[in-house]
Amino acid sequence: MNGLRLRELRAGRKISLEKLGEVINKSKISYSKKERGEVDFLPDEVLALSEFYELTYDEMNAIFYDHNLPNGKMENFKDILAAIGLL
């Protein structure tokens, strides 16, 4: 996971930790731990943040999965995770 890129997205758009916590239905502290890499983002949280930031599948794959997911599309994200045993 590329926490630095997540921080850059947040800072560049001047979005608070509280707001991103709301996006993933967690507290500010929980979101912060996830952004720092102390706790993994769940697939639904990845989707919520990807939608919030309007990320492409490739951007999401780079940030959250270090380019380790196979090629795909955002609408197939959960199927892809299930196929490789991450869901």
| Two structure tokens written together for 3 | 């926490």
| Contact predicate 24/31, CB 8 Å | yes
Which residue has 């869901």 as its token pair? 87
Show the domain range for 35. 3-83
> What pLDDT was estimated at residue 81?
87
Number of domains into which the chain is organized: 1
Q: How far apart are the first and last CA of the chain?
A: 17
What is the largest distance, in Å, between two alpha-carbon atoms of the chain? 36
> What pLDDT was estimated at residue 53?
96
pLDDT by residue (tens digit) across 13-32?
Answer: 999 999 999 999 999 999 99
CATH number of the domain where residue 46 is located: 1.10.260.40
Per-residue pLDDT of the chain (87 residues; tens, 9 = 90+): 999 999 999 999 999 999 999 999 999 999 999 999 999 999 999 999 999 999 999 999 999 999 999 989 888 888 888 888 877
Model-level pTM? 0.90
